[in-house]
């Protein structure tokens, strides 16, 4: 049995003034790839993750989507996640 798991985390600092998006991808309980909006590209942590990160970083359309996700995903959903 193989397991794939991904998370998208929005970190809000001072409301929506400073927002950070972190996408983490796990394969068989081990983190293999991560995107941090402060860094601006994917980083691989395993040989498989490095290949996936390289493929994602070389796709301009996908990277544009990730770079703008802070606005359309995090800031857009801020009202839903705050009490």
For residue 49, count other CB atoms closer than 10 A to its CB.
Answer: 20
What is the SS3 assignment for 25? strand
Q: Residues with Cβ < 8 Å from 4, sequence gap 6 or more?
A: 25, 26, 27
Tell me which residue has tokens 């994602």. 56
According to DSSP, the residues that pair with 18 across neighbouring strands are 13
- Strand locations in 1-83, DSSP E? 4-13, 18-27, 30-36, 41-44
3.30.300.30, 3.10.320.10, 3.40.630.40, 3.40.1360.10: which CATH number matches 4-71? Answer: 3.10.320.10
Domain parsing of the chain, residue ranges = 4-71
pLDDT tens per residue across span 21-68: 999 999 988 999 999 999 999 999 999 999 999 999 999 999 999 999
State the pLDDT confidence band at 18, using cuts at 50, 70 and 90.
very high
């Amino acid at each position: 049995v193989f397991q794939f798991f991904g998370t998208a985390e929005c970190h809000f600092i001072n409301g929506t003034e400073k927002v950070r998006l972190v996408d983490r991808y796990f394969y068989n309980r081990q983190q293999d790839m991560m995107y941090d909006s402060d860094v601006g590209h994917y980083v691989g942590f395993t040989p498989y993750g490095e290949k996936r990160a390289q493929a994602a970083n070389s796709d301009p359309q996908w990277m544009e989507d990730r770079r703008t996700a802070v606005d359309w995903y995090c800031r857009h959903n801020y009202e839903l996640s705050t009490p």
